[in-house]
Chains A and B, each alone.
Chain A
Amino acid sequence: MKHLYKYNLLQILRRWDDLFWALIFPIIMATLFYATFGSSTIDNMKAIPVACVHGENIAFETFLNEMDGEMLDAEWMEEEEAQKALETGKIDGIFFAKAEPSLTVSSAQMNESILGTLLQTYLQNQKLMGDIKDAHPLGLLGAIGSLTDYKELVEPVSTGGRTMDSSITYFFALIGMACLFGAFPGVTAAMQLRADQSALAARRSIVPLHRLHMVISEMLSVFAVQFVNICLLLLYMRFVLHISFGPKWPLLLPICIMGSMTGVAYGIFIGSLRMGEGAKTGLLVGSSLLMSFLAGMMMGNMKDIIEHVCPIVNRLNPAALISDAFYSISIYENPARYGRSLIILAVFTAVLVLASFGKLRRERYDSL
């Protein structure tokens, strides 16, 4: 087993085309993203540009003025002017200080959701104060105090404990894609186990070793290399591109492990199918790019759009699950969601491994 493992590792490390897709390509993509978006960070946030339209709600106007600066980059303007600014993308939303405060946004991206949450929080507190005034007038003073704490209150609720630059979406999706690209060495490994795929595989099928040993040693060696690849990608992003993943970075490791396993299992599954090498490569490249696209690698808000339109796709797309696990731990601070993503990935991996093993364990063929 050790002998097999050693030579499997050697082969994988020397297969430059597989290594290109699994390591070099994601590093190139990360560098290009960096050149496009700059250094993303989870710890700092830019003020969101908004327009505010005067109305009869003085309290809300005061609240907006309070928010102006650190959280909002608010500018008071006429409604018509504000609409034009929204259409041209100069601002992300318009707050109307009417009796019933409202917000208009033009898309459903991260900044827009923060603005929505900000308004919700204000309305909830306003209702709370009304209730307190009616039921406990003596507690009103304390309630007013809570209004002045909007900034502290709003910030954690809006972003799950942390604020972020929305371009981090691309980097998370890229890591998801890199994990899936572990499928490339996976395909090669599986093809070297099917006697009907190559002379080498046939030769390896008649050695005096249990099939399970061969399959497991292949899987473990491909997985080990892929895990190192993902860690190298993360280190490159963190220390060369200076992309911050937040203070809970050790929790990123389980995602890398699970993501790598899923990628490798996916490749081994495709490799175990009975079709030509070209068809397998095509299927692999096409499907992993599609999954990465749906996870938001080419269009930052794609994952959010799918979440609204067809959330099941996000639950079944490994790239989206990997990226979501990153979000859950780095942005939302949502361990339950993090755990859910990892569990789905684990189930996905187990199903793929079992299906592949069912095909690869075969030792006798109808034809070669």
Chain B
Amino acid sequence: MIHIENLVKRYGEVLALDHLNLDIAEGEIFGLLGPNGSGKTTAINCLLALLKYDKGEITVFGEPMHPESYEQKRQIGIVPQNVAVFEQMSVYENIDYFCGLYVKEKQKRRELVEEAIAFVGLEDYRKMLPRKLSGGLLRRLNIACGIAHQPRLIILDEPTVAVDPQSRNKILEGIVALNKKGSTIIYTSHYMEEVEQICTRIVIMDHGRCIASGTTEELKRMIKTGETICIEGVMLTDGQTEAIRALPHVFQADYAQEENRLVIKCTSAKHNLIRVLNYLQQEEVPFGRVFSELPTLNDVFLEITGKELRD
């Protein structure tokens, strides 16, 4: 459906997109994950033919994408990162305005607008002006304006920034529902949990490059970390720490003496936690809270780039 090849975009000296390659298939919920400034929005703006780029090719629905590609644009819905609605127009009018730019027939448009309002749960606010809406409701209006014409491809650029958890869940559920109705979704975010929750395939970006891609499971399998064990309230000697490092499947053990906290990284294997706890009992070392985590996308990012996703 979308093919991006060797896309290069510079802002003066800054290389925003560095030979980016992407392929997105019909029916996917495609996640574009990366820290702020990694080039996600730039890639989207190039894809929409809004930004000039220095090099590369972009095809959408099999055709090259230009500013005059009106037929392709007709099948795309965009939900920008910043809320983009008219302050002077009510919820209904805003959705009707944007829907009317894609759908000419009045009766059909009316139905689509009503559907969009119901979809984002703004039935009780249709006559309200945007300034009277809360942040979460405003985000929902922003989404409704982008999806009302029921496009084939929906691009959501960080739609949950500054949204309360309740609205965030509602938005994420809505995105999955849109995908089930037949739309292909491109979802950019720097919230790994969201991407992990809804995306069928993920590309991790950093410094304008694609550094890893695959399903969540595939990405996690790419890294060494299979499990992270954290033990709090523990006091260890250097020798004991060394002994833990020598346990099977453990490849890293960091003990923070001031915090009495031990973090152990293991490769994927059974009974990692039991082995560590057995050793501590054997050494008669008391300990407090213990928890074990499977790897997250942040671990993937951390291991590949050496930095946290939210840095």
Interface residues of A (CB under 8 A from B): 3-4, 7, 10-11, 14-15, 195, 198-200, 202-203, 205-211, 363-368
Contacts and interface: CB of A to CB of B under 8 A. Distances in A.
15 contacts: A4-B101, A7-B86, A7-B100, A202-B45, A202-B80, A203-B78, A203-B98, A205-B50, A206-B73, A208-B74, A210-B70, A363-B49, A365-B50, A365-B52, A368-B51
B93 A364 contact: no
Interface size class of B (residues with CB under 8 A): 20 to 34
Contacts of B74: 208
Contacts of A200: 84-86
B50 A368 contact: yes
A10 B52 CA distance: 33
B67 interface: yes
Contact of B51 (A3, A7, A203, A364): A364
Given A3-B97, A10-B88, A203-B84, 8 more contacts: A7-B97, A199-B83, A206-B49, A208-B73, A208-B101, A363-B49, A364-B50, A365-B51
B88 A14 contact: yes
Contacts of B101: 3-4, 207-209
Contacts of A206: 48-50, 73, 76, 78
A210 B51 CA distance: 17
Interface of B: 11, 45, 48-52, 67-68, 70-71, 73-74, 76, 78, 80-86, 88-89, 93, 97-98, 100-102, 104, 145-146
A203 B73 CA distance: 12
B49 A10 contact: no
Contacts of A195: 50
Contacts of B68: 210, 363
Contacts of A363: 49-50, 67-68
Contacts of A211: 67
Contact of A199 (B11, B80, B89): B80
Given A199-B81, A202-B50, A367-B51, A10 B89 contact: yes
Please list the 6 inter-chain residue pairs (A to B) with the smallest Cβ-Cβ separation, ordered nearest first: A363-B67, A199-B82, A14-B88, A199-B84, A208-B70, A203-B84
A209 B98 CA distance: 11
Contacts of A208: 70-71, 73-74, 101-102
Contacts of B97: 3, 7
Contacts of A203: 78, 80, 84, 98, 145-146
Nearest to A16: B88
Nearest to A207: B101
A364 B58 CA distance: 14
Nearest to A195: B50
Contact of A364 (B49, B73, B104, B145): B49
A7 B73 contact: no
Given A208-B73, A209-B101, A10 B67 contact: no
B289 to A, nearest CB: 44
Contacts of A4: 100-101
Contacts of A7: 86, 89, 93, 97, 100
A4 B93 CA distance: 12
A3 B98 CA distance: 10
A3 B88 contact: no
A207 B151 CA distance: 12
B52 A366 contact: yes
A359 to B, nearest CB: 15
Nearest to A15: B88
A209 B74 CA distance: 9
A198 B87 CA distance: 13
Nearest to B109: A3
Contact of A209 (B48, B50, B70, B71): B70
B85 A3 contact: no
Nearest to A362: B67
Contacts of A210: 68, 70
Contacts of B82: 199
B84 A198 contact: yes
A208 B73 CA distance: 5
Nearest to A201: B84
Contacts of B102: 207-208
B221 to A, nearest CB: 37
B100 A202 contact: no
Contacts of A11: 86, 88-89
B109 to A, nearest CB: 9
Contacts of B86: 7, 11, 200
Given A199-B81, A203-B80, A364 B67 contact: yes
Nearest to B85: A200
Contacts of B98: 203, 207
A255 B93 CA distance: 35
Contacts of B73: 206-208
A10 B93 CA distance: 10
A338 B74 CA distance: 49
Contacts of A365: 50-52
B14 to A, nearest CB: 10
A198 B80 CA distance: 11
A261 B296 CA distance: 60
B100 A3 contact: yes
A363 to B, nearest CB: 4
Among B50, B52, B68, B100, which residue has the most Cβ atoms of chain A within 10 A? B50
A208 B48 CA distance: 11
Contacts of A198: 84
Contacts of B76: 206
B267 to A, nearest CB: 44
A42 to B, nearest CB: 40
Contacts of B145: 203
Nearest to A206: B48
A7 B86 CA distance: 10
A364 B45 CA distance: 10
Contacts of A367: 11, 51
B254 to A, nearest CB: 42
Among A15, A210, A364, A366, which residue has the most Cβ atoms of chain B within 10 A? A364
B89 to A, nearest CB: 6
B153 to A, nearest CB: 12
